[in-house]
Amino acid sequence: MIIGVDTGGTFTDFVYRDGEKWGVYKLLSTPSNPAKAVLEGLKHLARAKKKQIIHGSTVATNAILERNGAKTALITNEGFEDIIEIGRQNRSRLYDLAYRKEPHIIPPELRFGLPGRILQTGEELAPLDLQKAGKLIERLQALGVESVAVCFLFSYLNPSHEREVFALLQSAENPADKPAGFKVSLSHEILSEFREFERTSTTVINAYVCPRMEHYIGYLMDELDREDSLGIMQSNGGSISAETAMRESVRTILSGPAGGAVGAYEIGAMAGYSRLITFDMGGTSTDVSLIDGNLTLTLESSISGYPVKVPMIAIHTVGAGGGSIARIDEGGALKVGPESAGADPGPICYGKGEHITVTDANLYLGRLIPEHFLGGRMSLMKDRVIPYFDAFARRMGLAPAEMAEGVLDVANTAMERAIRVISVEKGYDPREFSLFSFGGAGGMHAAFLARLLNIPRVILPQNPGILSAIGMIMADVIKDYSLTIMESQEHVSFESLKGQFADLEKKGTDDLLAEGIAPENALLEKYLDMRYEGQSYEIIVPFDEHYIEGFHKLHEKTYGYRNEDKAIEIVNIRLRARGIPEKPAFPKARKMVKDIPRNALLGEKAVVFEREPLPTKIIAREKLLSGNRIDGPAIVVEYTSTIVIPPFATALVDAFGNLVLEIAASE
């Protein structure tokens, strides 16, 4: 049985394929130990079957956000101990006069410098002081350090000093009362590129989260059967083995959202849509990404203010989800999020919560159908919600229904801003894209967001609430490698650059074979990081015989101009080793049926739209057929999600079972 697992703030989602049979399952997450919900779901689905599991984990992300990673030390060159504190001159809050930096996850007393120096040519200027290194390791043991990040200048050209420190750390004898051995992250293995601040930061993040990830994955593997296999989703849209994820945990920071983007890309391509804005609204947050023919990758990500320079799908996140809490600020204005009720206590309608959430507002307006929530397996308590809304509305001086729509409008505005960040602010016109909506709460907001942004079409796949888990099953195995070469255009040729990829190609091929990929299913993609001489940042350009013209074109597309008189620098070579596993096929309907089957109509109820209760059809999605047309207003219910079709939208079921909403332009 092949199973995709996505751990979210509110629900843990499962999608599985057992022979030709497909199925989905959701259960509440267990925030105190996310593995409990994962194991409970796996036992429910496949108690006595061999399992191939791909898992998107939030463990690395949460370790950073909650600052509960391992006790970590940094070893670097003498005099460079504070590089992670100094950082760059960029300031995210330039005009905040009261701004204070949060203390770094590695405090000053755990940053250590050693004598020894490698030059920018890769030659050794001064050998590493092994005597001081030995004494330093004794001090790390005395301080109870669990994990060590090692990052020396120019180690991407000559890693000998990092390897010497690694050998000492590995051979260190541990006192009986200390954990056995240090977890060690070497910068030339994590990120073999120039820019020492970003390389150090990425290595530090890896060292900080690795022990937590190793504990989490180890716990899962101990509970699984011996013949089961476990893969972990990466932030770059591919999966890796559990063993690799334990060593290179920094690559899993956005693993859940990345699964959703991959699922949207694959299903959108099948249905004929190559330009998508993905909209993943869950219980705690909303993730958005832009797909213009292919997934958009970035090397300029950060988490909690710490740069992470490994390839990631470009995903923008805002704290607006179904569990986002509504409140009144000091000025009397209505605010929604980023605080979330999460899975425990959850929204008021779940039975324990005390704060109004976006989910409660949808229920109050009739847009959530209590008896059909999670396929009827979880009851929602509308009666419990009413007194909270009455009291909150009195404080706002509004009618309760007006206040409930206000909660949704505020949440929609936050999500609209997020979509503008990845589209309008990057030079893309949202009107030229389709909104691909998924996540448990996405279907209730997608049509309203599309209208705000003048996006003409919304696509909702089957089982949108578990699309991230579907994406994990559909993901390739991907390994990314890079190396700084810093060559000027006139000093290299296509053939000489081709030769410099040889070592990376061998490593990529060997690693894919180790991940269980057959040679015929391995694909090696080559890229160059290029820039005009004097620029500070690079553009990733596919490597072929026309790489110079490719750079000019991409630069013009990105920045609006090209300068063919300016010399070009090739900064890094980059290899993406892609292993293509067997992927699930989605059947295409042979005929289209316009009329909705009678058994799909579950009834009618009053639902509030623009302050007015309107008679609204309730429709069971699993009974719909390809070709069915639904005129709004209507509510479509399914196991993993609820979809609101407002009066200004019309829906059509396409040949793959996707629900495609056409949105009337706002006046």
**Distance from C-alpha of 327 to C-alpha of 392, rounded to nearest angstrom:** 9
Mean pLDDT on 253-260: 87
End position of a domain, from candidates 177, 208, 239: 208
Beta strand 312-313 with 306-308 is unpaired
Q: What is the mean pLDDT of the chain?
A: 90
Q: Per-residue pLDDT tens for 263-317? A: 999 999 999 999 999 999 988 788 999 999 989 888 888 888 889 999 999 998 8
Q: Inform me whether the pLDDT recorded for 129 exceeds 90.
A: yes
Question: Total domain count for the chain?
Answer: 4
Instruction: Give the model's pLDDT for residue 174.
Output: 58
Tell me which of 579, 604, 630 is where a domain ends. Answer: 579
CA pseudo-torsion sign 644, 649, 650, 653:
negative
Mean pLDDT across the stretch 447-476?
92
Residue 211, CA distances (Å) to 69, 141, 207, 306 in order: 8, 16, 8, 19
Which residue segment(s) compose the domain that 496 sits in?
Answer: 480-579
For residues 435-449, average pLDDT: 94
Residue 73 Cα distances to 79, 139, 244, 518, 596, angstroms: 16, 11, 22, 39, 63
Q: For residues 117 and 262, state if they share a domain.
A: no
**Coil, helix or strand for 479?**
strand
Residue 44 buriedness (CB in 10 A; 0-12 / 13-18 / 19+): exposed
pLDDT confidence of residue 91:
77
* Higher pLDDT, residue 375 or 576: 576
> What is the three-class DSSP state of 94?
coil
Please indicate, yes or no, whether residues 458 and 384 belong to a single structural domain of this protein. Answer: yes
Q: Which of 401, 369, 374, 368 is nearest to 386 (CA)?
A: 401
Contact 70/210 with Cβ under 8 angstroms? yes
Model pLDDT for residues 189-232, shown as the tens digit of each residue: 999 999 999 999 999 999 999 999 999 999 999 999 888 899 99
Q: Model confidence over 602-642: pLDDT tens digits? A: 999 999 999 999 999 999 999 999 999 999 899 999 988 89
Is residue 33 located within the same domain as residue 169?
no
In this structure, the number of other CB atoms found within 10 A of the CB of residue 625 comes to: 16
Could you tell me if 347 and 322 are in contact, meaning their C-beta atoms sit under 8 angstroms apart?
A: yes
Q: Which of these, 254, 322, 317, 325, lies nearest to 286 by C-alpha position?
A: 317
CATH number at residue 222: 3.30.420.40
36 with 167, same domain: the answer is no
Q: How far apart are CA 350 and CA 369, in angstroms?
A: 13
DSSP structure string for 120-163: TTS-EEE---HHHHHHHHHHHHHHT--EEEE--TTTTT--HHHH
> So what's the pLDDT on residue 27?
86
Is residue 17 domain-shared with residue 80, that is, in the same domain?
A: no
For residue 667, what pLDDT is reported? 60
Q: Omega of the bond prior to 456 within 30 degrees of 0, cis? A: no
**CA 596, CA 659: separation in Å to the nearest integer?**
13
pLDDT at 94 over 90: no
Query: What is the average pLDDT across 435-463?
Result: 94
- For the stretch 37-87, pLDDT in tens is 999 999 988 776 888 899 998 888 888 888 889 999 999 999 999 999 998
What confidence tier does 140 reach under pLDDT thresholds 50, 70, 90? Answer: very high
Q: 634 in helix, strand or coil?
A: strand
Give residue-wise pLDDT tens across range 482-502.
999 999 999 999 999 999 999
For residue range 288-302, list pLDDT tens digits in order: 999 999 898 888 888
Report whether 438 contacts 279 (CB < 8 A): yes
The verdict on 272 and 166 lying in the same domain is no
Q: How many residues does the chain have?
A: 667
Whether pLDDT at 462 is above 80: yes
Q: Give the per-residue pLDDT at 552.
A: 96
Question: Are both 560 and 517 inside the same structural domain?
Answer: yes
- Whether 273 and 436 have beta carbons less than 8 Å apart is answered as yes
For tokens 């949060």, name the residue.
102
State the alpha helices, DSSP H only, in 354-500: 358-364, 382-396, 400-422, 446-453, 467-474, 494-500
Q: Based on the domain organization, do 190 and 98 belong to the same domain? A: yes
In this prediction, residue 31 has a pLDDT band, given cuts at 50, 70 and 90, of confident
Reported as a single tens digit per residue, the pLDDT across 163-198 is 999 999 988 765 545 545 789 999 999 999 999 999
pLDDT of residue 176: 47
Sequence letter at residue 416: E
Mean of the pLDDT values across residues 391-409?
92
> Where among 579, 596, 622 does a domain terminate?
579
Q: Where are the alpha helices (DSSP H) in 455-493?
A: 467-474
pLDDT of residue 120: 93
* Same domain for 514 and 438: no
Contact at 8 Å (CB) between 628 and 593? yes
Q: Are residues 589 and 470 both part of a single domain?
A: yes
Q: Above 50 in pLDDT, residue 511?
A: yes
Which has the minimum average pLDDT: 343-357, 492-506, 541-555, 561-575?
343-357
Based on DSSP, count helices (H) and strands (E) in the chain, helices before strands: 17, 34
Residue 225 and residue 260 in one domain: no
* 3-class secondary-structure state, position 514: helix
Over residues 138-159, the mean pLDDT reads 94
Domain match, 498 and 616 both: no
Indicate the burial class of 496 (C-beta count within 10 angstroms; 0-12, 13-18, 19 or more): exposed
Among 10-24, 482-496, 543-557, the range scoring the smallest mean pLDDT is 10-24
